[in-house]
Amino acid sequence: MPETSTVPALYEATRRSLQAEPKELPAVWLYDERGSLLYEEITQLPDYYLPRRETEILRARAGEIAERTQARTLVELGSGDARRTRFLLDALTTAGTLDRFAPVDVSEEILRESSWAIAADYPALSVEPIAGDFGRDLDSLPAEGPRLVAFLGSTIGNLYPAQRADLLARLSAELGRDDALLLGLDLVKDPARLERAYDDRTGVTQAFVRNALTAVDRELDAMFEQRRFVYDPRWDAEQEWMDIALRALTAHTVSVARLDLELAFEAGERLRMEISAKFRRERFEPELRSAGLRVEEWWTDRAGDFALVLALPE
């Protein structure tokens, strides 16, 4: 689970979310060791097109990104197994500018493993992992520029618009003249395709989401029972996000001992586990602008499913 310093903040955030309307669990609970492995399995699913589309763009553009940014430091937020980051590491190594990689992730196990693997495969690189929450712990990023901050996989879509605005504003304040931001964004598309991507036939996505309940039961001495909930992912057309929840089958109460909470669920009540926002250029570009960033490049894959955006401070 998360680094010790982030635990009290996570517990407090969990209490607030569980008492909110609708009830919710912070998405960080999805990424314990098993959750990170399940997410890696998701990235191999035919219905979950995101990583393949992002790979297509990275393959085509990594060289150009390296040339434009001349990055000496690559920071990656929510790095996970950093599989697709290797396109950037390769291109920046070839360009001869990179000497430091700083992956930031709340899931310590996957951070440790991926840092070891990258340090072994890129021996000239200084690998400096930061175990922490990118919503809180951006103060300790390495200072040596030019820096490229990558936030891949459309993980920015797992933040609410206000959290997203806050993160973009803080990144913009952190970035110097020579630094750049690289964002992977899943784009709005046919809802049927989106719903299939989050409700795959093999049930891996459902297992990934349900695993967060198991994590909360274990870590917070909670008594969530899987059989009392059904998996309920929905496209919210107004917000343009996937709203991913578990829905209570019957009215019942759940105790969360470490938070001293008794939660009453009504029959049919949803417990939101995450949102996954989808983007359009005409809506996202103004968001970047309000944060003091501008789009330098907006690349998409051939099918127009996914975008990779290079943004610079204004």
Name the residues that contact ligand SAH, by CB under 6 A.
27-28, 31, 36, 39, 43, 78-80, 84, 104-107, 110, 133-135, 152-153, 155
**Contacted entry of ligand AVI, ligand SAH, none for residue 110, CB cut-off 5 to 8 Å set by kind:** ligand SAH
**Contacted entry of ligand SAH, ligand AVI, none for residue 205, CB cut-off 5 to 8 Å set by kind:** ligand AVI
In sequence order, what DSSP letters do the residues of the chain get, joined into one string?
---GGGHHHHHHHHHHHHHSSSEE--GGGGGSHHHHHHHHHHTT-TT--HHHHHHHHHHHHHHHHHHHH--SEEEEET-TT-TTHHHHHHHHHHHT---EEEEEES-HHHHHHHHHHHHHH-TTSEE--EES-TTT--TT----SSEEEEE-TTGGGGS-HHHHHHHHHHHHHH--TT-EEEEEEEBP--HHHHHHHTS-TTSHHHHHHHHHHHHHHHHHTB---GGGEEEEEEEETTTTEEEEEEEESS-EEEEEGGGTEEEEEPTT-EEEEEEEE-B-HHHHHHHHHHTTEEEEEEEE-TTS-EEEEEEEE-
**Cβ 251 to ligand SAH shortest distance, Å:** 32
**Cβ 133 to ligand SAH shortest distance, Å:** 4
42 binds ligand AVI (CB under 6 A): yes
**Cβ 156 to ligand AVI shortest distance, Å:** 8
Write the interaction track for ligand AVI spanning residues 242-281; mark x where CB under 6 A is met and - where it is not: --------------------------------x-x-----
Stretch that binds ligand AVI, among 4-12, 152-160, 170-178, 305-313 (CB under 6 A): 152-160
153 binds ligand AVI (CB under 6 A): yes
Torsion of CA 260, 10, 109, 182, to 10 degrees: 160
Stretch that binds ligand AVI, among 122-130, 150-158, 248-256, 293-301 (CB under 6 A): 150-158
Two structure tokens written together for 151: 């936030």
36 binds ligand AVI (CB under 6 A): no
205 binds ligand AVI (CB under 6 A): yes
**Contacted entry of ligand SAH, ligand AVI, none for residue 307, CB cut-off 5 to 8 Å set by kind:** none
69 binds ligand AVI (CB under 6 A): no
Nearer to ligand SAH, 134 or 284 (CB): 134
- The angle that helices 33-42 and 108-121 make with each other, rounded to 10 degrees, is 60
**Contacted entry of ligand SAH, ligand AVI, none for residue 129, CB cut-off 5 to 8 Å set by kind:** none
Candidates 314, 309, 308; CA nearest to 56 is 308
Residue least distant from ligand SAH (Cβ) = 153
206 binds ligand AVI (CB under 6 A): no
134 binds ligand AVI (CB under 6 A): no
**Contact footprint for ligand AVI (CB under 6 A):** 42, 50, 153-155, 157-158, 198, 205, 208, 274, 276
